[in-house]
């Protein structure tokens, strides 16, 4: 079973993980409700099964890459969920961004069924996942985490164990806090530069390797140069979910987040102005509109 891994959730992230794990020599057993996602796994040479329970029946380690709390609850404790498998001892690696309450309920449900849930969100976009440029923020039972080392190495650039269950999510909240701010800062710089008469491509070429660069400037800058945001790595709509999680947890721990709060308004504006399905780099459209710059609707 050392080279067999399960994946439940074969979307942008889970599908990319499956591709890299197949390239690393793993047999992948997967489940998704989407027919195109299942077809993509079959095309990679993976095996598609009919439920999360069937994934648990076939593997010792399974990756969960799920879109909503309801999906996580159903996959872990639903009628055909992982917990209903007759095989016990499964280690499930939960890699989504969700609230700690949601993940803790899933953890407790699986623990009651003799299984282990790890909290291992990833730092990185869908585009980064496609090229294996993800950082795993691992937390939970340390022995179980170490058991998953080869799987995690097979689908990510870097893996960091950060402590007890939940610490991975807390670290992800910090990472997404910075992503939120740095993305808007990049957008504002592009608008500022254009107002000063500079070409967007020149702005990117010079600043990407300057003291003022950031990972978000480097990753999302090319979209801002082109002014096109319909080739999506992470949607504005999805990021609004992350904004709520970060803000709620900040209130819970009484952390003041004034810069984050200001940056968040760009994403709400992008959503309100018809950009829900565009890449989060489209906050550059909002910065440009505030500056009186019109480069279209970002859809090519």
13-24, pLDDT tens digit by residue?
A: 999 999 999 999
- Claim to verify: residue 148 and residue 113 sit in the same structural domain: yes
Query: Residues 229-280: pLDDT tens digits?
Result: 999 989 999 999 999 999 999 999 999 999 999 999 999 999 999 999 999 9
Q: Is the pLDDT of residue 26 over 80?
A: yes
Is 286 inside a domain boundary?
Answer: yes
Query: Residues 52-81: pLDDT tens digits?
Result: 999 999 999 999 999 999 999 999 999 999
Hey, is 71 helix, strand or coil?
helix
User: Which residues, including other chains, have CB under 8 Å from residue 102's CB and lie 6 or more apart?
Assistant: 69, 72, 73
| Residue pair 279/234 in contact by the 8 Å Cβ criterion | yes
Query: Residues 191-222: pLDDT tens digits?
Result: 999 999 999 999 999 999 999 999 999 999 99
- Claim to verify: residue 145 and residue 129 sit in the same structural domain: yes
Model pLDDT, residue 300: 81
**What domain range includes position 127?**
4-164
Give the DSSP per-residue string, 79-134.
Answer: TTSGGG-S----EEEE-S---HHHHHHHHHHHHHTT-EEEE--EES-HHHHHTT--
State both tokens at 77: 């404790």
* CA separation for the pair 74, 110 (Å, rounded): 12
State both tokens at 162: 């950060």
User: Which residues, including other chains, have CB under 8 Å from residue 85's CB and lie 6 or more apart?
Assistant: 53, 56, 57
Give the DSSP per-residue string, 208-232.
Answer: TTSTT--HHHHHHHHHHHHT---S-
**pLDDT band for position 87 (50/70/90)?**
confident
Q: What percent of the chain has pLDDT over 90?
A: 95
* CA separation for the pair 18, 148 (Å, rounded): 15
State the average pLDDT over residues 277-298.
97
State the average pLDDT over residues 135-157.
97
Query: Residues 91-114: pLDDT tens digits?
Result: 999 999 999 999 999 999 999 999
- Claim to verify: residue 141 and residue 233 sit in the same structural domain: no
State both tokens at 156: 């990510």
**pLDDT band for position 163 (50/70/90)?**
very high
Domain end, chosen from 164, 194, 214, is at 164
Q: What percent of the chain has pLDDT over 70?
A: 100
Place of tokens 């990407």: 208
Q: Is the pLDDT of residue 2 over 80?
A: no
Model pLDDT, residue 245: 96
- Claim to verify: residue 155 and residue 19 sit in the same structural domain: yes
- Claim to verify: residue 157 and residue 226 sit in the same structural domain: no
Domain end, chosen from 164, 190, 215, is at 164
Model pLDDT, residue 232: 92
Model pLDDT, residue 1: 54
Place of tokens 């070409």: 199
User: Which residues, including other chains, have CB under 8 Å from residue 288's CB and lie 6 or more apart?
Assistant: 187, 190, 191, 194, 294, 295
Backbone angles phi, psi at 122, to 5 degrees: -115, 145
Is 94 inside a domain boundary?
Answer: yes
Its pTM stands at 0.92
Is 297 inside a domain boundary?
Answer: no
* CA separation for the pair 144, 127 (Å, rounded): 29
- Claim to verify: residue 160 and residue 24 sit in the same structural domain: yes
CA atoms 14, 41, 111, 53: torsion sign: positive
* CA separation for the pair 147, 38 (Å, rounded): 27
Domain end, chosen from 124, 149, 164, is at 164
**pLDDT band for position 126 (50/70/90)?**
confident
* CA separation for the pair 128, 222 (Å, rounded): 14
């Amino acid at each position: 079973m050392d080279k067999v891994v399960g994946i439940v959730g074969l979307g942008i992230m889970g599908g990319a993980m499956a591709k890299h794990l197949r390239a690393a020599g793993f047999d992948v057993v997967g489940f998704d409700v989407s027919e195109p996602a299942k077809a993509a796994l079959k095309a990679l040479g993976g095996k598609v099964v009919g439920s999360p329970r069937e994934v648990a029946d076939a593997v010792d380690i399974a990756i969960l890459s799920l879109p909503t709390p309801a999906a996580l609850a159903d996959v872990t404790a639903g009628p055909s969920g992982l917990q209903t498998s007759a095989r016990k001892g499964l280690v499930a690696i939960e890699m989504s961004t969700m609230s700690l309450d949601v993940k803790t309920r899933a953890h407790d449900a699986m623990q009651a069924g003799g299984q282990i849930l790890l909290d291992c969100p990833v730092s990185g976009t869908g585009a980064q996942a496609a090229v294996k440029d993800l950082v795993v923020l691992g937390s939970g039972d340390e022995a179980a985490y170490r058991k998953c080392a080869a799987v995690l190495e097979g689908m990510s650039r870097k893996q960091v164990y950060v402590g007890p269950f939940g610490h991975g999510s807390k670290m992800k909240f910090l990472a997404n806090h910075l992503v939120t701010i740095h993305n808007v800062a990049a957008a504002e710089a592009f608008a500022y530069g254009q107002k000063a008469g500079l070409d967007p491509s020149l702005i990117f070429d010079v600043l990407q390797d300057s003291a003022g660069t950031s990972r978000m400037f480097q990753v999302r800058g090319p979209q801002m140069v082109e002014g096109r945001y319909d080739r999506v790595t992470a949607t504005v709509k999805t990021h609004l979910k992350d904004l709520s999680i970060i803000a709620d947890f900040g209130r819970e721990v009484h952390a003041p987040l004034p810069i984050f709060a200001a940056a968040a308004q760009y994403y709400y504006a992008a959503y309100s102005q018809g950009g829900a399905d565009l890449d989060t780099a489209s906050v550059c459209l909002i910065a440009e509109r505030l500056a009186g710059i019109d480069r279209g609707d970002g859809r090519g």
